[in-house]
Amino acid sequence: MEALKVRGLSDKGKVRQNNEDYFGWYVPKDTGLEHFGSLFAVSDGVGGASAGEVASAEAVNVLLQEYYFGDLTDKIPERLKSAFQKTSLHIFDLSLSHNSARNMKCTLSTLLLNRDRFFISHVGDSKILLLRDNELIQLTKDHSLVGKLMRLGLISAEEARTHPNKNVLLKAVGDGPLLVADFYSGLTRPGDLFCMVTDGIVEHATHEELQSFLVEKGSSDVGLVELVAELNRRGGHDNMTILTVTVNKV
């Protein structure tokens, strides 16, 4: 049995012309990079047109390249933070140097699994969740207007899903040359299921529905296809991306 079981799916939905979501991962095997752990990333382009697609793809690919092959410290937490910062600077520089990508931005959420620990760097309103003992908890904080209103107790989760300003971000990769990302860490256990989603998933699925889905089908390709199909039936108003990582052993 492999230590990690990874499944991912991205769909443009029923309304958008392009898919500005992007995801990727790298699980080192016999490459001499195993000590750096396995890195997973999800990004959602901001701003529409082709620039959103460019921003999300660049963010994920540059992050993976920098983390594994960049001239960075070997200390794992600092290495992830540095790779994230270099990626953010890259997106900002691109947004200044190419007219077609002017002001492009994206969310970026990263999950690093190394031995018995997880490390997260995160900016934006994509989410990293953890299913443990059949209970789903959100590990990241949404950098969005509705996320802030929810934390202040001013609106409910249901109101957030239909709020007229639900797409307003308070922080995104590309905002400036220096970006302070949220950073979290913790211990992993066998049986943990990490779930990374863009906001298009949670627009049509409640936390409870997502929990039930992950308990029943979260680590199967067929399950992801069925979930996205159901959310498209509910409107598919945005691009949708889901990436699940099941920890079989640490």
- How wide is the angle at C-alpha 41 spanned by C-alphas 12 and 125, nearest 5°? 65
Q: Flag whether the pTM goes above 0.85.
A: yes
| Confidence at residue 95, expressed as pLDDT on a 0 to 100 scale | 85
- DSSP β-bridge partners for residue 25: 40
| Confidence at residue 31, expressed as pLDDT on a 0 to 100 scale | 83
| Confidence at residue 20, expressed as pLDDT on a 0 to 100 scale | 93
- Average confidence (pLDDT) per 10 residues, the chain, 250 residues: 93 91 94 94 79 89 97 95 96 82 88 97 97 96 86 83 80 90 97 96 92 90 94 94 95
Q: What is the DSSP letter of 134?
A: T
Do residues 228 and 176 make contact, with C-beta atoms less than 8 angstroms apart? no
| Confidence at residue 100, expressed as pLDDT on a 0 to 100 scale | 67
Residues 152 and 144: their CA atoms lie apart, in Å, by: 12
- Of 212, 215, 219, 214, which Cα lies nearest the Cα of 245? 219
| Confidence at residue 161, expressed as pLDDT on a 0 to 100 scale | 75
| Confidence at residue 85, expressed as pLDDT on a 0 to 100 scale | 96
Number of H helices, E strands in the chain: 7, 11
The residues near 20 (Cβ < 8 Å, ≥ 6 apart) are: 44, 45, 46, 48, 52, 53, 55, 56, 106, 239
Domains in the chain, CATH or no CATH each = 4-247 (3.60.40.10)
